[in-house]
Amino acid sequence: MTPPVLLVCHSTRPRGGLVHTLSLGEALLAQGIDVRLVALGDPAAGLFRPTPLPHSIVAAPPPAPTLEERVFDAVDALEAALAGLCPSGAAVLHAQDCIAARAACRIRDGHVGPARPGTVVVRTVHHVDDFTTPALIECQQRAILDPDRLLVVSEHWRGLLAADYGVDTTVVRNGVDPDRFGAGTPGERERFRTRAGAGPDTFLVLTVGGIEPRKGSVTLLEAMAGVAGSVNGSGPRPVLAVVGGHTFFDYRAYRDGALARLPELGLVEGRDVLLLGTVSEADLGAWYRAADAFAFPSVKEGFGLVVLEALAAGLPVVATDIPVFAEYLEDGHSALLVPPGDSAALAAALGRLARDPALRRRLADGGRPLVDRFTWAASAAAHREIYGSAAVGSPVYEH
């Protein structure tokens, strides 16, 4: 029997970690599990989309001047909330990030109030952040070593955590909801393409995740300049639409540096590069449907949930040939894979798609079976088994 489950997340921003958590929670709820989402955010604003999943939005602490202060303030805020929300008997606290894991482990161990021997902490490690200060490095290490069970979403990260931390993990894949964004409305594609300055023959490329080092954003901008140069007046200039950008980390220096290069690359913001920021759930679906291709030249991912979303929307994908993508994408069949950081190779791949609608259709068709392979129902069933086994004993780690 599965005990009550609290899914704990450090943010309500609609990034991959929260989308994963919310989708998993909804699938668990549909399978009859007593589950609740607990996340830091703005209680008045709530979540980014309606959900049947019971949830508690904990007021996020005010922004602090340093990353270290922001992390530890967030841990304290989540811990205080969990102290009142965690059942007194058997329960599973499933943390989705470093901050949530530290708060959950402190609840279990009695950092505030009595220890809770019936509480089991499960942690999903989507990826490991590049912290630099000793305090944050130690915090992240504890967030990996202290939970009772560790999950990852790819074999690549299973190997990395074994090598770097000496821990054993269980792979539970992400899922995708093919009906998440609906089917769109008449004339929607044309309206959104017009917003991007894209005519019927314009090659519109979409990327999701904002402008960040981990997303390979500079490489993508360089590649778009290459594709634009190859057009050379023979057709409409390609357009890149960038969705997202809100993150716990401060990437303003990287973002400013990337955008400062636009003139040297011959790109104009608002004409060649459209910075959309965080968009509504409805608009995100519309941008997927309006685009001609999806580019995701990330250099580090846990899985790459937005790639599955793009495939579910019927888009051809160009991604980097990093191990996590190679676990489920096949170059030339379900995506075009290029070396990370290689803007020339990325430009060549995007150029092929721009010139070859038949190739776009073949890649979209090749990626479609992945949508049926990765379901949230299957992911939830695997999580249920793990929750049940963790609750009856046999922890992976000693505390």
Q: Are residues 205 and 268 in the same domain?
A: yes
Quick check: 394 pLDDT over 70?
A: no
- Rounded CA-CA distance 210/191 in Å is 22
Higher pLDDT, 275 or 250: 275
Quick check: 399 pLDDT over 50?
A: no
Q: Is there a domain that residue 104 lies in?
A: yes
Q: Are residues 73 and 136 in the same domain?
A: yes
Quick check: 125 pLDDT over 70?
A: yes
Q: What is the band of 392 on the pLDDT scale with cuts at 50, 70, 90?
A: low
Q: Are residues 261 and 342 in the same domain?
A: yes
pLDDT exceeding 70 applies to what percent of the chain?
96
Q: Is there a domain that residue 210 lies in?
A: yes
Q: Are residues 148 and 200 in the same domain?
A: no
Of 41-50, 160-169, 346-355, 384-393, least confident by mean pLDDT is: 384-393
Q: What pLDDT score does 233 carry? A: 64
Q: What pLDDT score does 111 carry? A: 84
Q: Is there a domain that residue 56 lies in?
A: yes
Q: Are residues 237 and 332 in the same domain?
A: yes
Taking a C-beta distance cutoff of 8 angstroms, is the pair 12, 40 a contact?
yes
Q: Are residues 295 and 381 in the same domain?
A: no
CATH number at residue 293: 3.40.50.2000
Q: What pLDDT score does 117 carry? A: 87
Which parts of the chain are beta strand (E)?
Answer: 5-9, 35-41, 55-59, 91-95, 119-125, 149-152, 170-171, 204-208, 239-243, 273-277, 293-296, 317-320, 336-338
Higher pLDDT, 394 or 314: 314
pLDDT tens column, 195-230? 999 999 999 999 999 999 999 999 999 999 999 988
Q: Is there a domain that residue 398 lies in?
A: no
- Rounded CA-CA distance 228/216 in Å is 19
pLDDT, average across residues 363-384: 96
Q: Are residues 359 and 386 in the same domain?
A: no
Q: Are residues 238 and 149 in the same domain?
A: no
Of 75-84, 245-254, 327-336, least confident by mean pLDDT is: 245-254
Segments forming the whole domain that contains residue 198: 188-373
Q: What pLDDT score does 232 carry? A: 67
Quick check: 395 pLDDT over 70?
A: no
Q: Is there a domain that residue 180 lies in?
A: no
pLDDT, average across residues 379-383: 97
- Rounded CA-CA distance 170/160 in Å is 13
Q: Is there a domain that residue 182 lies in?
A: no
Taking a C-beta distance cutoff of 8 angstroms, is the pair 336, 320 a contact?
no
Number of domains in the chain: 2
pLDDT, average across residues 375-394: 87
pLDDT exceeding 90 applies to what percent of the chain?
83
Q: What is the band of 397 on the pLDDT scale with cuts at 50, 70, 90?
A: very low
Nearest in space to 288 (alpha carbons), one of 187, 192, 378? 192
Q: Are residues 171 and 253 in the same domain?
A: no
Q: What is the band of 248 on the pLDDT scale with cuts at 50, 70, 90?
A: low
Q: Is there a domain that residue 69 lies in?
A: yes
pLDDT tens column, 2-54? 899 999 999 998 888 899 999 999 999 999 999 999 999 999 999 999 999 99
Q: Is there a domain that residue 150 lies in?
A: yes
Q: Are residues 122 and 258 in the same domain?
A: no
User: Considering the entire predicted model, what is its pTM?
Assistant: 0.91
pLDDT tens column, 279-315? 999 999 999 999 999 999 999 999 999 999 999 999 9
pLDDT, average across residues 51-58: 97
Rg of the chain over Cα atoms, rounded to whole angstroms, equals 21
Nearest in space to 92 (alpha carbons), one of 310, 386, 399, 339? 386
Q: Are residues 104 and 242 in the same domain?
A: no
Q: Which residues contact 358 (CB under 8 A, 6 or more apart)?
A: none
Taking a C-beta distance cutoff of 8 angstroms, is the pair 336, 347 a contact?
no
Q: Are residues 200 and 96 in the same domain?
A: no
